[in-house]
Structure 1
Amino acid sequence: MPPASFRIFVAACLVLALAAGKAAGAEPEGPLPVSIGAALGPFADPGGVRAALRARGIDLTLLSTHEVLGNPKGGLRTGPIYAGKSEAILSVDLDRWAGLSGFTAFANAFRIDDTGGLRDRSFRRLVTVSNIEAASTTRLSELWLERRWASGVALRVGQLAADGEFFASETGKPFLSNDWPTITGANLPSGGPAYPLATPGLRLRYDPMPHLSGLLAVFNGDPGDQGMTNRHGTNFRLTDPPLVMAELQTRWNQDADAPGLAGSLKLGGYRHVGPAAHLRFDAEGLRLGDPASLGSARRLRGTGGLYAVMDQQLYRPEGGGPASGISVYARLAGSPSDRNLIDLWADGGLVVAGLVPGRPDDLFGLSVIYARIGAAARGFDRDRLTFGGGGFVRTAEASLELSYQMQVAPGWTVQPDIQCVFNPGGGIENPSKPGAHLDGGYVFGLRSTALY
């Protein structure tokens, strides 16, 4: 089989070749995203290439995110790390390209550079420190084709990432630690189909009204380990037990000129149908922490969970849009405690946008995250201590984040960030200091994000 990097190149070329053909006569619809190109003057679109591509229904976006993070106190070791993610995003309107009404093609790929990752290197955390943290590699992410009908139905097929549409809060996205929640990332095989991993699947969406949506998706349930079996995102695994996700969304006052406060509510659930292991008892009914146990966990049928996501604007300045002013968000989720490391997840926060005098595009906010260790895992820890083992009974992990996102130029933001880590790993032992807990601590960071 050709090298993975070659397969990424071929996959990207297939989409680009599809886009390079017949041009439609229609004009581009809608504005381009806010881009740093606006500050580049005549260098924003050399030769008019980007405008020519968009006239043919082709949008190519480049996103560059770089950060330095460090913990001066706490964890296994202190010191800074660097992480960077360069992303290319290609969207092709096949209606404008070839008159295929309702069809869209999409692909994106990353180049990830990470010198350590504070979550694993320093804190052995369950909760994300940085939402771009991943194994250093070049990786294909999503690659899909979507068909939309006038009835409000849309079907998407290809390699998909669930975190783009499911279990997500728009208000919480500015925070570095806001990510695919740990209750799914820690409980699903290989973390589930979420950054930096995607997996083959299909997603059905129905929008019967502008304020109401229903989503149903089926994914290959195990994308493979990002650092070993699926390092470049080109395995296209199809034979693993599936993951099914469903979500109902309702929104209010989302129009730019709406007089009321904007908000949304999402209710969802997921089910992985593959086998799961009991975290406390073996196949014979003995406790796994008992030396008499053979160590083979009791087999269970699948896992899953339910969740809710709420975004609500509290203050909307005159003339402001749905993301302006003061907003809050919250996510709450639960999973069966007998087979899942995390059985309860809660996060939320407050974001203030556009209210800094003289800086209408800046925002700042405060967020909190709580992840509780499941009852069976806590029971296993107690059993291990009862039978003379070491360690501690894990309970929960929490974090607090304070962040300020300032716009340097349209399309370019710089973001200082402070996080406080409590009880990393839920209260695990420090491997370099037997008999002592691994200490929490502080993380200081600076992120730069540019969109072109």
Structure 2
Amino acid sequence: MTDMRQMAEHRFSGFRRPARAMLGSALAASGAAMASPAAASEDPQTFIEGGITIDTLSNRSGGQRRDSRVLGLASVAAGVNALRSGPLEISGFVEVQLVDGDGFSEDVVGDGQVVSNIDAVPGIRPIEAWLQLGTEGGRHRLKAGLVDLNREFDMQQVGSMFLNSSHGIGAELSQSGANGPSIFPTTTTAVVYGFEADRWGARVGAFNAVAGDPAHPKKTVLPFPGEDGLLLIAEAEHRSGSLRTYAGLWAYSTASPDLLHPDDAAGDRWRSRGAYAAMETTLATAHTGEKLESWVRVGVANEAVLPVATYLGGGIRYGTENRGIGFAIAHARLGDPAIDAAAIGGDGAQRAETNFELSYVHALTPAVTIQPDVQYVRNPGWDPAIDDALVIGLRLSVGFR
């Protein structure tokens, strides 16, 4: 059959931003110990931080074959916060990542959403390098440079504890672009404006349309934003007590061909586009401090040019900042054109790939975290020839600062 992962022109790896509110910085995966300089401190502060994440994964049944892999990600970051110049605050940030080990989803499980969010082409790459100007208090800020889109947009805080990539950034958005959008493992140049009020926030970004060099995945490319077209994205957020909601729109200025007619001339500009919305909240708090938290996210994309037309994900988590257990579901549905294209090219395709994940994370020390994880993948890769897969894994994260 037609390979649905190739039709997506990427692998849905969207490693979560280091600044995510997971179980505190000590529990974030790999460079997650690195607090984002987006929120300036009261005094100028320089820092060097980093982390190492190791995933040991084993496909116990189904998938393409039974096998085990070890994946690794090391990162180091340096920056300066809140360097004042008159009414402005200046921040700078640089992060470099080393990826070692890949292909577990592509070669072993066969799933499209990627069971480990550090599964990527090996290599050493800068993931971010930017300067930011902000007003005192952080109400307005303007960032320019090499920017990870997922550290600014579609940031799921409760879902960030899970390993599956779709809980970091939705599958309908991560499939976009000639080499994926500007997310892990390959980012590109951008300009981002952010506004923060007491309960409201908004962000708009203009990213170069092509992240890196699709023909040379290990190569670092630093184009001027817009040199290859633009990915424009906007997001609004509202906070009320423990309830956080956000919604966003995105579109590419570059033309995209139809899935059913890939050899024809590229379609109109802005056809590769989509929208998403999410809500997360604390459902209950125990007298001992444990919280029951939940989230749900939905996303849509233009099915004429992108395989995944609809995504629905969400889950629950119970615990404290030092430990927690959670269950999550990621459901990615193909559009009719992708189904028809698969029927034309081979044996057809299943409508949806669904991932069920049960995970427990425990901070042994402020710097060391372990995370046993179990994932069941229904219809891996939307391929009717691949049996449902059962994946067992263990993540070890070590941070330093």
Fold equivalence (TM over 0.5): yes
Partner of 1:82: 70
The one-letter amino acid of 2:210's match is D
Identity %: 23
Q: Does 1:373 align with 2:334?
A: yes
Q: Which is higher, the Rg of structure 1 or of structure 2?
A: 1
Q: 1:323-356: CA deviations, max 9, x gaps?
A: x5000011100112111111000110000012xx
Q: Which structure shows the bigger proportion of residues in helix conformation?
A: 1
> Per the alignment, in what secondary structure is the counterpart of residue 184 of structure 2?
coil
Pair 1:267 & 2:247 matched = yes
Separation (CA, whole Å) in 2 of partners of 1:281 and 1:196: 29
Alpha-carbon distance between aligned partners in 2 of 1:128 and 1:78, rounded to the nearest angstrom: 16
Shift of 1:95: 1.6
Q: CA deviation at 1:401?
A: 0.3
Partner of 2:274: 305
- Partner in structure 2 of residue 296 of structure 1: 264
The aligned amino acid for 2:260 is: R
CA distance in 2, matches of 1:438, 1:416: 25
1:353 to 312, 319, 338: 319
Q: What's the CA shift for 1:101?
A: 4.1
Shift of 1:179: 2.6
Check the 8 A contact 2:209/2:252 in 1, yes or no: yes
Residue 189 of structure 1, CA deviation: 2.0
1:268-307: CA deviation from partner (whole Å, max 9, x where unpaired): 110111111111247xxxxxxxxxxxx4366233311110
Partner of residue 181 from structure 1, selected from 170, 177, 182 = 170
Asked if the contact 1:94/1:100 (under 8 Å) is kept, the reply is no
**Cα distance change on mapping 1:206 and 1:94 into 2, 3 Å:** closer
Rounded to whole Å, the distance in 2 between the matches of 1:56 and 1:166 is 26
Change (3 A) 1:310 1:414: same
Shift of 1:131: 0.7
The DSSP-based 3-state class of the residue aligned with 2:115 is coil
1:23-422 counterparts in 2 under 5 A? 57-93=45-81, 95=83, 101-114=88-101, 116-150=102-136, 152-177=139-164, 178-207=167-196, 209-225=197-213, 228-236=215-223, 238=225, 239-253=227-241, 262-281=242-261, 295-296=263-264, 299-302=267-270, 303-318=272-287, 320=289, 324-354=290-320, 361-382=322-343, 384=344, 390-422=346-378
Q: For residue 26 of structure 1, what is the aligned residue in structure 2?
A: none
Write out per-residue CA displacement over residues 376-396 of structure 1, whole angstroms, 9 at most, x where no aligned residue. 1112234x2xxxx63123311
CA shift, 1:80, in A, is 0.7
Cα deviations across residues 36-59 of structure 1 (Å, max 9, x unaligned)? 9xxxxxxxxxxxxxxxxx986211
Tell me by how many angstroms 1:202 deviates.
Answer: 0.5
Counterpart secondary structure, 1:280: coil
**Separation in structure 1 between the aligned mates of residue 171 and residue 336 of structure 2, nearest angstrom:** 16
Per-residue deviation, 1:265: 0.1
1:144-193 per-position Cα deviation (integer Å, ceiling 9, x unaligned): 01111148111001111111121121000000002322212223221111
The structure that is strand-richer by fraction is: 2
Secondary structure of the 2:161 match is coil
On the 8 A contact 1:311/1:328 being kept in 2, the answer is yes
Q: Secondary structure at the match of 2:373?
A: strand
State the alpha-carbon separation in 1 of the partners of residues 59 and 251 from structure 2. Answer: 37
Q: 1:337 corresponds to which letter in structure 2? A: E
Q: Judging changes above 3 Å, is the alpha-carbon distance between structure 1 residues 351 and 225 closer, same or farther for their aligned structure 2 residues? A: farther
> Quick one: which amino acid aligns to residue 279 of structure 1?
L
What is the alpha-carbon distance in structure 2 between the residues aligned to residue 110 and residue 143 of structure 1? 12
How far, CA to CA, are the matches of 1:95 and 1:230 in structure 2?
35
In structure 2, the CA distance between the partners of 1:101 and 1:69, relative to structure 1 (3 Å rule), is same
Cα pair 2:255 2:266 within 8 Å, conserved: no
Mapped to 2, the partners of 1:135 and 1:394 lie a distance apart of: 27
- Summarize the Cα distance change of 1:56–1:299 in structure 2 as closer, same or farther, 3 Å threshold: closer
Change (3 A) 1:126 1:95: same
- Contact 1:171 1:329 (C-alpha < 8 Å) held by counterparts: yes
Offset of 1:216 from its aligned partner?
A: 0.4
- Distance (Å, rounded) in 2 between the aligned partners of 1:316 and 1:170: 17
Q: For 2:43 and 2:283, locate their aligned partners in 1 and report how far apart those are by CA, in whole Å.
A: 40
Note the C-alpha offset of 1:225. 4.3
Structure number with greater CO (CA < 8 Å, separation at least 6) is: 2
Per-residue deviation, 1:248: 0.3
Please give the alpha-carbon distance, in whole angstroms, between the structure 2 residues aligned to 1:367 and 1:34: 21
Are residues 326 and 391 of structure 1, via their aligned partners in 2, closer, same or farther at CA, if it must alter by over 3 Å?
same
Q: 2:187 touches 2:212 (CA, 8 Å); kept in 1?
A: no
Q: Distance in 2 between matches of 1:339 and 1:232?
A: 27
**Once the two structures are superposed, what CA deviation does each residue of 1:65-102 show, in whole Å capped at 9, x if it has no partner?**
11100102112221110111111121202527x88841
Q: Residue 124 and residue 237 in structure 1: after superposition, are their counterparts in 2 closer, same or farther (change >3 A)?
A: farther
- Tell whether the 8 Å contact from 1:381 to 1:394 is kept in structure 2 after alignment: no
Going from structure 1 to structure 2, the CA distance change for 1:34 and 1:216 (only over 3 Å counts) comes to closer
- Give the Cα separation in 2 of the matches to 1:132 and 1:179: 11
Instruction: Tell me if the contact between 2:87 and 2:135 (Cα under 8 Å) persists in the aligned partners.
Output: no
Structure 1 pair 76/230, CA: closer, same or farther in 2 (3 Å)? closer
Number of aligned residue pairs:
358
Q: Which residue of 2 aligns with 1:423?
A: 379
Counterpart CA distance in 2 for 1:89 and 1:75 is: 36
- What SS does the aligned partner of 2:172 have? helix
Distance in 1 of aligned mates of 2:311 and 2:374: 21
- Find the aligned partners of 2:260 and 2:25 in 1 and give their Cα distance: 51
Helix, strand or coil at the partner of 1:448: strand
